[in-house]
Structure 1
């Protein structure tokens, strides 16, 4: 599994700085979530890492190899990507779309092997699209398209997976199914995530971005606090421990609501029923 290092990354468009001196390491096998408001630079950071954009300065290393110096096919054997934007006008079947994930392993005129085709079938089944092989991609629903593209990323069989808000367009059942699947792969994963509770359930560590900078990086418990949610997102929230899965759980409140002086950092193991937290000082 790959160790990923981002060092002093900067990125500008038309002299406007979008990313400012971004540095972090991803341990092998870790699931890292990136959270932050719209426009904070989450997707731009991911696009620099998977080479859609070229950094203005800085380095991205995969096991001490500079990503910028790798050939396209070599890079595609190391990194699989599910981008946020996708062209929904593909005139291909679902199977053809997913088979494209095996491209990095094929020579120019080499046909798909039995192993390739079995991987395609297995991944379609895992994302809940068993029996969809011959369906036209362009006729699928938004959620079905998203799951097809997830299957394509997974058949690349890489040690590093980049996901840009992967649960967009998915019903809650498929969101959980997808994140369970990604987590079960036990590979190095970097994902921009919009839903805080999904991030809390699945991530090992979180990066918080605001205005093109990393303002916090730590475990879920270290990062997700009521103070962070207020300062970064401008929302009041009650943060407690779910008594069933022992994960942090966030309850958002109306902008005019307050917590009546009750601390909202963490609740003890009896969950949301009792209050044991400290008081917030105005």
Structure 2
């Protein structure tokens, strides 16, 4: 689960992403109510409402094949009774609902799927709901903006696993870790690619960029095109290692590949800029 916190009208609201679905803490949203009502009481009173229960039931039927419709109807039938004070836990356990749940510990509280959370916000304040939606959209836009970069970084990391696995399987078995320090080829192999793409080793870069090196590394400053080529080089290098190519042979081959691919990608980027 990934946690985020947004601020709406000076109220911090937690958001949890579970299986690519966003759940918003309605316990936090309840703090937006003008009076000093306890969040638990606000949620309980909201859950007593017929419209709320019908909305929740319909949402579950659309999104949850395991929802117990008959049990939800039992809740709706009790609306208006003074003794009817349902809790979120009671609702979820008896109906097998997935749109609401209670979370313990850090970021604890009652969470609702974003569709339901926005509906709950309407009951608190239509104006507060608008601010909530706006801030939520800002968060999603920020995540989307970083998506391309993160995807390339992930691609690079995944291919690095292929790369290092090839080194482990095809070079290290012939090495005595104590007599022969060639196991350091893990780092050296990475630096072959660093020199090809960035014209320096990681160690040299850290020495020249001491402040930046405290919180980042050389590859964090690579362009999307460089990261794309890097991921390709790692896969190529793994294959060349399997073929038994020497380090010098691999360096020459990979240099040619990198030069060609970067040239193609950079030209394509320039054409795209002109066309746009």
Confirm or deny a common fold (TM above 0.5).
Answer: no
TM-score relative to the length of structure 2: 0.26
Higher relative contact order (CA 8 A, sep 6+): 1
Compare the two structures and name the one with the higher helix fraction.
2
Compare the two structures and name the one with the higher strand fraction.
1
TM-score relative to the length of structure 1: 0.26
